[in-house]
Chains A and B, each alone.
Chain A
Amino acid sequence: MNVDLELVQRVQAGDKKAFDVLIMKYQQRIVHVITGFVHDPVEALDVAQEAFIKAYRAIPNFRGDSAFYTWLYRIAINTSKNHLTARARRPPAVDVDAMDATNFYDAPELKEFETPETSLMSDELQQAIHQAIQSLPEDTATAIKLREFEGMSYEEIAEVMECPIGTVRSRIFRARDAIDKQIQEIMGEGE
């Protein structure tokens, strides 16, 4: 079973902690999408919070017909539009079908709302992560690339790399740990 769906079912069964994990997983994406509508990062956090609260209240009606993120994305877009309407501001003409939600992050309409500063920081972080991946042993680098860039499951990666799933999991963790250390160094320098 899809882990998102399992988390949703746990929330539906009364486990609020499971909803925290869904928030942690999707908050960056949702704030990123909402920022494209409301333009103000601080305001975007408030709208994102409202969207998540609406999602929590509506979660008993979620039946898994679509991916959880697609459903959440739709709520976030509607909340953003309502927010702009309430503030007597016109919602952007650009809209994206919910089906394309998972591919929406690189939309040029959103890029134009990023500030030069945040754009620069994102680029720096991306470069640092790519450098960290390049410095990894080949097997570890391949595992994380297949996971992050190709979107493969552990099972698929295990098949491609001809190794057990447990090894794939371990390699991806080691890659992620190295990336995390790299980010920590950069963030330490930035502060």
Chain B
Amino acid sequence: MTVNQNELLSALVDGELQGKELDDALQLLHVDEQARMQLQRYQHASDVLHGHSLGYQTIDLTTRISTALQDEAEFTLATKNNVSAQVIAFPKQFWKQTVSLAVAASIGALAVVGVMNQPDNQLIPSHQVAVVEIETTPMVVAKTGERWTVQEQEVEERLNSYLVDHNEYAGASGVFSYARVVSYDMGR
């Protein structure tokens, strides 16, 4: 044991080691039994001065505790903390703003849906809607002018009935009421 090593152990007793010096001390204690004994003697002297000791005997529980803990898994808490720290590394302000925005968007969406589902939609006066006449170029959507291009009459009727059923259901649910105005039969 060198003087420097003993000085290192003395500083460890006082809790004055950090970083690399603490690494060095831990490594020294790991490989050098004499260093462990020296540290325990320094610690014992300090304990005696503070009245913690029960006589001359220096106690060494490290061996029996190490043996008892031999089969225990080593912790990896620091790794877990790092991972979780990366996940929640956003500033608090970010989360506040995000939550506020989400709440505001939800309320806005509910309000719009509610207004749309009013029976006569009185909240939106129809006379305020401006009518603008614009020149439009006719565009051919379908050559036949029919919405369904099926050959068999039976299939066409079935499709129509599906559409009617759908419109009725949509009206009842209050969600897709706009579907009433695009029903097949009205446009025909």
- Docked Cα-Cα span, A154 to B68, in Å, equals 36
Closest residue of A by beta carbon distance from B42: A176
Interface assignment of B47: CB less than 8 Å from any CB of chain A: yes
Q: What per-residue 1/0 map shows which CB atoms of B77-88 lie under 8 Å from chain A? A: 111000000000
Chain B residues whose C-beta falls within 8 Å of the C-beta of A56 in the assembled complex: 65, 69, 72
- Docked Cα-Cα span, A184 to B74, in Å, equals 37
In the complex, the answer to whether A106 meets B45 with C-beta atoms within 8 Å is: no
Interface assignment of B143: CB less than 8 Å from any CB of chain A: no
Q: Give the shortest distance, in Å, between A186 (CB) and chain B (any CB).
A: 7
With beta carbons under 8 angstroms apart, the residue of A35, A41, A118, A180 that contacts B45 is A180
- Docked Cα-Cα span, A57 to B44, in Å, equals 26
In the complex, the answer to whether A14 meets B76 with C-beta atoms within 8 Å is: yes
With beta carbons under 8 angstroms apart, the residue of A20, A106, A177 that contacts B29 is A20
Chain B residues whose C-beta falls within 8 Å of the C-beta of A180 in the assembled complex: 38, 41-42, 45
In the complex, the answer to whether B61 meets A23 with C-beta atoms within 8 Å is: yes
**Given A14-B74, A28-B53: A129 touches B69 (CB 8 Å cut-off):** no
- Docked Cα-Cα span, A74 to B49, in Å, equals 23
Q: What per-residue 1/0 map shows which CB atoms of A1-43 lie under 8 Å from chain B? A: 1111011011111111111110111011101100100000100
Which of B3-11, B97-105, B115-123, B174-182 contacts the other chain? B3-11
Interface assignment of B43: CB less than 8 Å from any CB of chain A: yes
Which of A79-87, A91-99, A120-128 contacts the other chain? A120-128
Interface assignment of A52: CB less than 8 Å from any CB of chain B: yes
Place the interface of chain B in its size category.
35 or more
- Docked Cα-Cα span, A118 to B62, in Å, equals 22
In the complex, the answer to whether A169 meets B52 with C-beta atoms within 8 Å is: no
Our count of residue pairs bridging A and B at CB distance below 8 angstroms stands at 163
* Interface residue SS majority, chain A: helix
- Docked Cα-Cα span, A31 to B60, in Å, equals 11
In the complex, the answer to whether B16 meets A118 with C-beta atoms within 8 Å is: no
Chain B residues whose C-beta falls within 8 Å of the C-beta of A18 in the assembled complex: 26
In the complex, the answer to whether A176 meets B45 with C-beta atoms within 8 Å is: yes
**Given A49-B68, A183-B41: A29 touches B16 (CB 8 Å cut-off):** no
With beta carbons under 8 angstroms apart, the residue of B13, B59, B77 that contacts A13 is B77
Interface assignment of B15: CB less than 8 Å from any CB of chain A: yes
Q: Give the shortest distance, in Å, between A64 (CB) and chain B (any CB).
A: 13
**Given A28-B47, A176-B10: A53 touches B68 (CB 8 Å cut-off):** yes
- Docked Cα-Cα span, A21 to B17, in Å, equals 12
With beta carbons under 8 angstroms apart, the residue of A11, A14, A190 that contacts B56 is A190
- Docked Cα-Cα span, A28 to B76, in Å, equals 29
- Docked Cα-Cα span, A29 to B62, in Å, equals 14
Chain B CB within 10 Å — which of A3, A29, A148 has the most? A3
In the complex, the answer to whether B52 meets A49 with C-beta atoms within 8 Å is: no
In the complex, the answer to whether A48 meets B48 with C-beta atoms within 8 Å is: no
Q: What per-residue 1/0 map shows which CB atoms of A171-187 lie under 8 Å from chain B? A: 01100110110011011
Q: Give the shortest distance, in Å, between B20 (CB) and chain A (any CB).
A: 12
Interface assignment of A59: CB less than 8 Å from any CB of chain B: yes
Q: Which residues of A contact B (CB under 8 A)?
A: 1-4, 6-7, 9-21, 23-25, 27-29, 31-32, 35, 41, 45, 48-49, 52-53, 56-57, 59-60, 105-106, 114, 117-118, 121-122, 125-126, 129, 147-149, 153-154, 169-170, 172-173, 176-177, 179-180, 183-184, 186-187, 190
Which 3 residue pairs of A and B lie closest in terms of their CB atoms, listed nearest first?
A13-B78, A121-B55, A14-B74
